[in-house]
């Protein structure tokens, strides 16, 4: 093996493939707008910035291009890793690298949560790279051929490096990420963020955030930036400082970017904060609503959502120009036969178009997993996704524990909600609701060429969706209503309509596969009943 600390070491960084069908895998929409995948691999370009800068890096994102033999031949060392839905792909990269005799370094969320599954890697770098990559590099210096690196220490975000944005091809992605903070002050039972990153949000300074914006600007990037924080408003005092700096910078640079992020619902209680977000052109916010029922929210310890009118909160956020995407979960202990209806009502009345509904999954290393283990209800010790082409993600292949309600009822409720909310009529009703309440500022102005490209995409969408038998009429009706009643939200209406191409396919896949699972469960129930009956009868005869 080469001395890996030499100058010019060739380091291949692989973004492993995500499982095929996922709420976030809107590849069709990407294709429509000329991109290949929604989000750029921020974790890996951060890793590249933490490794020796005299190395020669090549990033291959297996979601946008083929990972070829020649890439393995080129490399002296391979870095790979990621989330649970990338597990199979990461493991196969390790195998292949070994076939080429190349050492592999693995890290990221899933290897950090379940290191036992990645023991085949040569170097297993657990947790935050800012802390553990230096430990790995020290071992390399000592000539160690393998190792596992972990630390109880958390990274100091004030010392964070600027990710190597120069390594990615911007045109492949719809959005690029910036991370301003890690951790969240809340304490939801099912959440692994607080276990991995802590409950005290650690934040970058305004100067650091501006430095990253400037780096992207200097590289010629324009458009959508996603603040990939666990909870953007975890430390409200600090984020307000950052937002005023971003406003000043954006004004000086003629608003080259617009933004999205993830936040808790108490964002709706802070008008000043929402105004500041609107001032710099935040357009989307993802909120974990999980359930509209207070009893269920109390059990999962999501206290900030209790006693809140979700509809009012969401409408208020729309009024500051931000479209709300939200997460919902089915499968909690104290659900009832009203759960599905309540969820449908909440999603429909608040007009949430992009509602990510999953079945509860006890992620490794959470309070929920520990409780279920204590109660003897957890099915498996580790979480694996075996078939990335048929399994979607850990949300839709959820319920890895014994439910309190009959499992079949939970599945039926799940499918009932999915069928309802992604029925074209109901989806487009929500698009109208959102767009009539939305007050976008659209400060980011695309360049002339970008405008031309968008116009072209719009015509393509009109051809694709506008003449579709099922949704054509709904599409035109939605556009006409929005044009006449709230013209400035027309871009949002077109974007949300385009997203339906993805939701239609995704929901059809979920409906078909869940229906099949329901049928299997019903058959096995019938078989059990039949056996009971047979047993009962034979007993009688005896």
Residues constituting the chain: 542
Give the C-alpha separation, 113 to 370, whole Å: 14
Best CA proximity match to 91, nearest among 69, 61, 121, 60:
121
Contact between 193 and ligand SF4 (CB under 6 A)?
yes
Least separation in angstroms between residue 274's CB and ligand SF4 is 18
Contact mark string toward ligand B12, 285..314, x via CB under 6 A: ------------------------------
Q: Name which position in 16, 113, 261, 437 contacts ligand B12 (CB under 6 A).
A: 113
Q: Are 466 and 475 in contact (CB under 8 A)?
A: yes
Q: Are 267 and 317 in contact (CB under 8 A)?
A: yes
Least separation in angstroms between residue 229's CB and ligand SF4 is 9
User: What does 289 bind: ligand B12, ligand SF4, none (CB cut-off 5 to 8 Å by kind)?
Assistant: none
Query: Angle, to 10 degrees, between the axis of helix 339-350 and the axis of helix 310-319?
Result: 20
Q: What is the DSSP string of 300-333?
A: TT-GGGTT--HHHHHHHHHHTT-EEEEEEEE--T
User: What does 194 bind: ligand SF4, ligand B12, none (CB cut-off 5 to 8 Å by kind)?
Assistant: ligand SF4
Give the C-alpha separation, 99 to 95, whole Å: 6
User: What does 231 bind: ligand B12, ligand SF4, none (CB cut-off 5 to 8 Å by kind)?
Assistant: ligand SF4
Contact mark string toward ligand B12, 22..51, x via CB under 6 A: xxxx------------xx-xxxx-xx----
Q: Name which position in 76, 128, 281, 413 contacts ligand B12 (CB under 6 A).
A: 128
Q: Which is nearer to ligand SF4, 274 or 482 (CB)?
A: 274
Q: Name which position in 230, 279, 333, 393 contacts ligand SF4 (CB under 6 A).
A: 230
Q: Which is nearer to ligand B12, 230 or 279 (CB)?
A: 230
Q: Which is nearer to ligand SF4, 29 or 196 (CB)?
A: 196
325: region left, alpha or beta (phi > 0 left; psi from -120 to 50 alpha) = beta
Question: Cα 438–281–159 angle (5° rounding)?
Answer: 140
Contact between 107 and ligand B12 (CB under 6 A)?
yes
Best CA proximity match to 396, nearest among 460, 330, 309, 478:
330
Q: Which is nearer to ligand SF4, 230 or 281 (CB)?
A: 230
Q: Which span sits near ligand B12 by CB under 6 A: 100-108, 335-343, 371-379, 413-421?
A: 100-108
Number of residues that bind ligand SF4 (CB under 6 A): 11
Q: Which is nearer to ligand SF4, 191 or 324 (CB)?
A: 191
Q: Name which position in 184, 354, 461, 493 contacts ligand SF4 (CB under 6 A).
A: 184
User: What does 288 bind: ligand SF4, ligand B12, none (CB cut-off 5 to 8 Å by kind)?
Assistant: ligand SF4
Q: Name which position in 67, 125, 353, 489 contacts ligand B12 (CB under 6 A).
A: 125
Least separation in angstroms between residue 470's CB and ligand B12 is 25
Q: Name which position in 57, 186, 422, 504 contacts ligand SF4 (CB under 6 A).
A: 186
Q: Which span sits near ligand SF4 by CB under 6 A: 124-132, 189-197, 439-447, 448-456?
A: 189-197
Contact mark string toward ligand SF4, 278..307, x via CB under 6 A: ----------x-------------------
Give the C-alpha separation, 49 to 280, whole Å: 28
Beta strand pairing call for 223-227 and 173-178: parallel
226: region left, alpha or beta (phi > 0 left; psi from -120 to 50 alpha) = beta
Contact between 231 and ligand SF4 (CB under 6 A)?
yes
Q: What is the DSSP string of 373-387?
A: HHTT-B--SS-----
Q: Are 359 and 396 in contact (CB under 8 A)?
A: yes
Q: Are 309 and 345 in contact (CB under 8 A)?
A: no
What stretch of H or E contains 224?
Answer: strand 223-227
Give the C-alpha separation, 417 to 348, whole Å: 11
User: What does 261 bind: ligand B12, ligand SF4, none (CB cut-off 5 to 8 Å by kind)?
Assistant: none
Best CA proximity match to 375, nearest among 405, 403, 340:
403
Burial 485-495 (b: 16+ CB within 10 A, else e): ebeebbbbbbb
Q: Which span sits near ligand SF4 by CB under 6 A: 142-150, 190-198, 354-362, 530-538?
A: 190-198
SS3 content of the chain, % helix, strand, coil (to 5): 50, 15, 35
Q: Which span sits near ligand B12 by CB under 6 A: 176-184, 206-214, 432-440, 525-533?
A: 176-184
Return the residues of window 390-409 that contact ligand B12 according to CB under 6 A.
Answer: 393-395
Give the C-alpha separation, 360 to 331, whole Å: 5
Rounded to 5 degrees, what are φ and ψ at 236? -70, -35
Query: 3-state DSSP call for residue 124?
Result: strand
DSSP lists the bridge partners of residue 148 as: 124
Best CA proximity match to 479, nearest among 459, 466, 493:
493
Number of residues that bind ligand B12 (CB under 6 A): 44
Q: Are 51 and 74 in contact (CB under 8 A)?
A: no
Q: Which is nearer to ligand SF4, 300 or 323 (CB)?
A: 300
Beta strand pairing call for 181-182 and 56-61: unpaired
Contact between 193 and ligand B12 (CB under 6 A)?
yes
Q: Are 213 and 165 in contact (CB under 8 A)?
A: no
Q: Name which position in 112, 264, 396, 434 contacts ligand SF4 (CB under 6 A).
A: 264
Q: Which is nearer to ligand B12, 197 or 428 (CB)?
A: 197
Return the residues of window 61-90 that contact ligand B12 according to CB under 6 A.
Answer: 79-81, 83-85
Q: Which span sits near ligand SF4 by CB under 6 A: 183-191, 251-259, 353-361, 382-390?
A: 183-191
> Which residues would be at the binding site for ligand SF4 (CB under 6 A)?
184, 186-188, 191, 193-194, 230-231, 264, 288
> Which residues would be at the binding site for ligand B12 (CB under 6 A)?
18, 22-25, 38-39, 41-44, 46-47, 79-81, 83-85, 105-110, 113, 125, 128-130, 133, 177, 179, 182, 192-193, 197, 228, 230, 358, 363, 393-395
């Amino acid at each position: 093996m080469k001395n890996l600390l030499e100058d010019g070491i060739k380091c291949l960084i692989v973004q492993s493939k995500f499982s095929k069908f996922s709420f976030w895998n809107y590849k069709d929409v990407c294709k429509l707008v000329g991109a290949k995948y929604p989000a750029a691999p921020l974790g890996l370009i951060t890793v590249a910035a933490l490794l020796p800068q005299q190395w020669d890096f090549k990033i291959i994102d297996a979601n946008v291009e083929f990972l070829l033999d020649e890439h393995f031949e080129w490399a002296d060392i391979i870095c790979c890793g990621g989330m649970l839905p990338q597990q199979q792909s990461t493991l196969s990269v390790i195998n292949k690298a070994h076939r080429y005799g190349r050492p592999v370094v693995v890290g990221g969320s899933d290897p950090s949560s379940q290191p036992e599954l990645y023991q085949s890697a040569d170097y297993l770098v657990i947790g935050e790279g800012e802390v553990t990559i230096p430990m790995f590099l020290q071992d390399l210096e000592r000539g160690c051929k393998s190792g596992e690196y972990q630390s109880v220490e958390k990274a100091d975000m004030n010392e964070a490096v600027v990710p190597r944005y120069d390594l990615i091809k911007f045109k492949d992605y719809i959005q690029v990420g910036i991370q301003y903070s890690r951790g969240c002050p809340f304490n939801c039972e099912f959440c692994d963020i607080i276990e991995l990153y802590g409950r005290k949000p650690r934040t970058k300074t305004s100067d650091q955030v501006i430095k990253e914006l400037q780096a992207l600007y200097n590289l010629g990037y324009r458009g959508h930036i996603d603040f990939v924080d666990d909870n953007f408003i975890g430390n409200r005092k600090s984020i307000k400082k950052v937002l005023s700096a971003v406003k000043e910078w954006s004004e000086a640079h003629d608003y080259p970017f617009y933004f999205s992020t993830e936040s808790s619902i108490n964002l709706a209680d802070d008008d000043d904060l929402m105004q500041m977000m609107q001032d710099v052109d935040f357009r989307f916010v993802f909120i974990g609503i999980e359930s509209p029922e207070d009893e269920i929210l109390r059990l999962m310890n999501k206290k900030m959502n209790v006693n809140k009118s979700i509809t009012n909160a969401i409408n208020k956020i729309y009024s500051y120009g931000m479209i709300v995407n939200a997460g919902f979960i089915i499968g909690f202990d104290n659900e009832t036969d009203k759960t599905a209806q309540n969820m449908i009502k909440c999603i429909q009345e608040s007009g949430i178009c992009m509602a990510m509904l999953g079945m509860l999954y006890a992620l490794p290393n959470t309070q929920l997993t520990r409780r279920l283990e204590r109660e003897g209800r957890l099915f498996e010790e580790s979480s694996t996704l075996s078939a990335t082409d048929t399994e979607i993600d850990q949300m839709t292949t959820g319920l890895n524990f014994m439910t309190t309600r009959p499992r079949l009822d939970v599945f039926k409720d799940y499918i009932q909600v999915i069928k309802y909310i992604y029925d074209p009529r109901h989806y487009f009703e929500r698009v109208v609701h959102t767009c009539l309440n939305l007050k976008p500022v659209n400060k980011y102005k695309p360049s002339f060429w970008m405008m031309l490209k968008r116009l072209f995409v719009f015509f393509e969408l009109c051809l694709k969706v506008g003449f579709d038998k099922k949704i054509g009429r709904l599409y035109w009706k939605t556009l006409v209503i929005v044009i006449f009643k709230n013209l400035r939200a027309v871009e949002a209406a077109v974007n949300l309509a385009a997203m339906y191409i993805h939701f239609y396919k995704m929901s059809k896949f979920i409906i078909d596969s869940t229906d099949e699972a329901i049928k299997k469960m019903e058959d096995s129930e019938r078989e059990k009943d039949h056996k009971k009956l047979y047993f009962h009868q034979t007993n009688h005869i005896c």
